A = this chain, B = another copy of it.
Amino acid sequence: MMLTMARLTQAHVDARTGDILAAAVALFASRGIEKTTMADVAAEAGISTGAIYRYFPGKEALLAAVFEREMRDSAAQFERAAEASGMGLAALFQVGEKVTSTGDSQDCALWLEVELASLRDPEGIGGRQRDVHDAIRANIQTLVAASQGSGEIDASMDAEALSTLLFAVARGLQLETAETGNGPRSREALDLLGRLLRLSGEHGLPPA
């Protein structure tokens, strides 16, 4: 009986924590962090103002959890897209397309909040974010290496530089899409980059 209770309680706690996080994510993204009150989050999560402090010790901790979740989601998005798409250049660009096409301005806003927090706290969340970004870049680099191995793109290109470029393009276009809503334009830019890379596979890239 104790065990059943405990398990239920833990599940309950997890569920509530998830509700609160989801509420916080939604509100922090749409209204902004400072314009969202703890009472707002509690109401959105369907609990009382005070109850939120049983799950998070304060707004800062809640924010940290939201940021952590946002970063995890970002990384997971890349990972899932990569896993689902095989290993060729086409796969790489399917990833890019998926990432780019989610021009949800809410997601983007939260992402920007994380970027801002990282800039302002390079040791804390900034460090964590660098890890996440490194992981993503490593992921990209794996796909790049595979494309180089198959000869689709020039094998002499610096895989790190290329993955940096691709990551930058992904971030830049995501921002672009969120701001303008012009998804097709971003896709065309991405296609263009793909064709340039294929060209490198065909003719080889001349030295710098």
- Interface of A toward B, CB cutoff 8 Å: 30-35, 105, 108-109, 112-113, 115-116, 118-120, 122, 126, 129-130, 133, 157-158, 160-162, 164-165, 167-173, 175-176, 178-180, 185-186, 188-193, 195-200, 202-203, 205-206, 208
Contact = CB atoms under 8 A, between A and B. Distances in A.
7 closest A-B pairs by CB: A168-B172, A34-B34, A172-B172, A165-B189, A161-B188, A164-B189, A171-B172
A186 B163 CA distance: 11
A126 to B, nearest CB: 7
Contacts of A171: 168, 171-172, 175-176
Contacts of A109: 116, 119-120
Contact of A179 (B119, B191, B195, B205): B119
Contacts of A168: 168-169, 171-173, 175-176, 186, 189
A107 B30 CA distance: 23
Contact of A133 (B119, B158, B165, B179): B179
B158 A188 contact: yes
Contacts of A118: 179
